[in-house]
Amino acid sequence: MIFIIVSSILLADQSSKFLITRNLSLSQSIPVLKGIFHLTLVHNTGAAFGILKNQVPLFIFTAIFAIFLIFLNLKTNKHKKLYSISLSLILAGALGNLIDRLLFGYVIDFLDFRVWPVFNVADSSITIGALLLALSIFKPGKAKL
């Protein structure tokens, strides 16, 4: 199940970034739902919300370290399903953004809800994974799947 989650999200992330970069120019924005949701191509050299701009080596090292720890944790421990799913989501997102940083020196973002910084599928996977991880840790009795 872990392999399916990671590979599916990684495929969706990289495919969507490929399509966006082939069809939009940098900073171009196309309204999908005018004023609510746009597709906007952004190159993010920072972390979440664009903080720590131009620290690519730091982000690459951090991502590789996190990926190693997550992979090790998933491989060596038997966990509840929700815990494993959450780590798989985080792993997939970290891999997706790491690929961008290694290939381009920045992360390709394009999902623009106008009230939030522009993000991508990998960012969504990390966020959902982190929320599920918190749920699996802090409410273990209610987090069973």
**Active-site position among 13, 100, 109, 112:** 109
**2 three-state secondary structure:** helix
In whole numbers, what is the pLDDT of the chain averaged over residues?
90
How far is 102 from 118, CA to CA, in rounded Å? 20
**Active-site position among 13, 100, 112, 123:** 123
pTM to 2 decimals?
0.88
- Counting residues of the chain whose pLDDT is more than 90, the rounded percentage is 70
Residue with more model confidence, 100 or 50 = 100
The letter for the amino acid at 37 is: F
Where do the structural domains in the chain lie, given as residue ranges? 2-138
How far is 67 from 63, CA to CA, in rounded Å? 6
pLDDT at 131 over 70: yes
Give catalytic status of residue 112 as yes or no.
no
Q: CA end-to-end span of the chain, whole Å?
A: 13
